[in-house]
A = this chain, B = another copy of it.
C-alpha cells in the first residue's frame, strides 16, 4: 500500500516488453515481390506507452535494444512520442526482432512473418532490468507476449509483478495471445497466474475463448474473466475496436467507433491505452470512450503507433465518437 509519505511517482505508467522493427508492403502488394519495405517500430507495450505520452502522461519503456542504427531507429520513434527511455537496456551486441507484414486484402488475411528468435529482448535477464525506473510509477503495464519470448523474459514478468505487489504499485495486464509463439494451453497455464489479481486486465473475446474456454454472452464472458482472475477491472475487446468492461460489479458497453481501416495492427494496444488513461484519472467510463476512439484512430492510420493529441481526442469525442451504454 502506498502511504501518505510516498512521494509522487516519476511516471504515470511504466512498461517492459519487446519492440521490434516492422517491415511491410502496401495493401495489394506481395512480400515476395517487394522492392521496398516500409519500416517502423512496433511493440504492444511500447505502443501503449507512446500513445499515453502523446496524450500528455509521463511514461517510460524499459526494454532492451541493440546499440546500432536499428536500435536507435526504435528509440527515435519512442523518444519522438515522448516516452522516457532512461530505463532502456542498451545491449552492445544482440539483434533487434523484426517482423514482416502483408496487410489483409480479402480473400487474403493479414500475414505476419516473425523473425524475433534470440533477439536482445528475448535474451534480457532480470538482473539487466532497470527496476528503479520500472517501479517509480502509478501503474505497471505488462502483456502476455513477454512470458512467451524466453524463460528469462518470463522471469522478468514474474519479478516485476512481485516487486509491484510489494511496493503497492497497481498493475495492468494485456493477454495478447500470439499463436506463433506458443499453444493456447501453454499460454493459458503460464498466463493465468500472471493475470490473477491485477488491477486492470485486458483480453480479447477470441483469447478468452481459446485460452480459458470462457463462453457465453459478452457480458457473461467479461464477468467470468474478471471474477476468475480476481481482477479489479476486466476489459474484453470485441470485434474491431469495441469493448465491454467489468468493474467488479457491473458491465459497461463501448461499441466500436466506425473507422476506415488503413492498418489494423495496434488497435488493441490503443484500446488498452485509452482505458488506462481513464482509469488513471479515476473514470473508467471515460477510459472506455477514449479506448474505443483510440482503437478507431489506430485502424485509420498507417503504423502500429497512434499519432494524436489529447485535444484531437477531446474534439472527436465531443463531435460524437465513442459512446458508452
Contact = CB atoms under 8 A, between A and B. Distances in A.
Interface size class of A (residues with CB under 8 A): 35 or more
Contacts of A107: 257-259, 293, 296-297, 300, 316, 321
**Residue of A69, A82, A312 most packed against chain B (CB within 10 A):** A69
A36 B34 contact: no
B37 A73 contact: no
Nearest to A67: B311
A265 to B, nearest CB: 13
Interface in A270-286: none
Given A107-B321, A115-B95, A117-B118, A31 B70 contact: yes
B106 A258 contact: yes
Given A30-B307, A34-B73, A113-B68, A105 B40 contact: no
A23 interface: yes
B32 A106 contact: no
Contacts of A76: 32-33, 80
Interface string A79-121: 1101000000000000110101010111110010101011000
A28 interface: yes
Interface of A: 23, 27-40, 67-70, 72-73, 76-77, 79-80, 82, 95-96, 98, 100, 102, 104-108, 111, 113, 115, 117-118, 257-260, 262-263, 293, 296-297, 300-302, 307-309, 311-312, 316, 321
**Residue of A32, A104, A259 most packed against chain B (CB within 10 A):** A32
A301 B302 CA distance: 19
A38 to B, nearest CB: 6
Nearest to A263: B28
A262 B259 CA distance: 16
A35 B38 contact: yes
A143 to B, nearest CB: 23
A93 to B, nearest CB: 10
A28 B293 contact: no
Nearest to A71: B32
27 contacts: A23-B23, A23-B39, A27-B260, A28-B262, A28-B263, A30-B301, A30-B307, A31-B70, A32-B70, A32-B72, A32-B73, A67-B311, A69-B113, A70-B100, A70-B113, A72-B309, A77-B80, A80-B80, A96-B115, A104-B260, A105-B259, A105-B260, A105-B301, A106-B260, A107-B293, A107-B300, A108-B312
A304 to B, nearest CB: 13
A315 B70 CA distance: 18
Given A23-B39, A30-B308, A69-B113, 9 more contacts: A35-B35, A35-B40, A67-B311, A76-B80, A104-B260, A105-B260, A107-B296, A107-B300, A108-B312
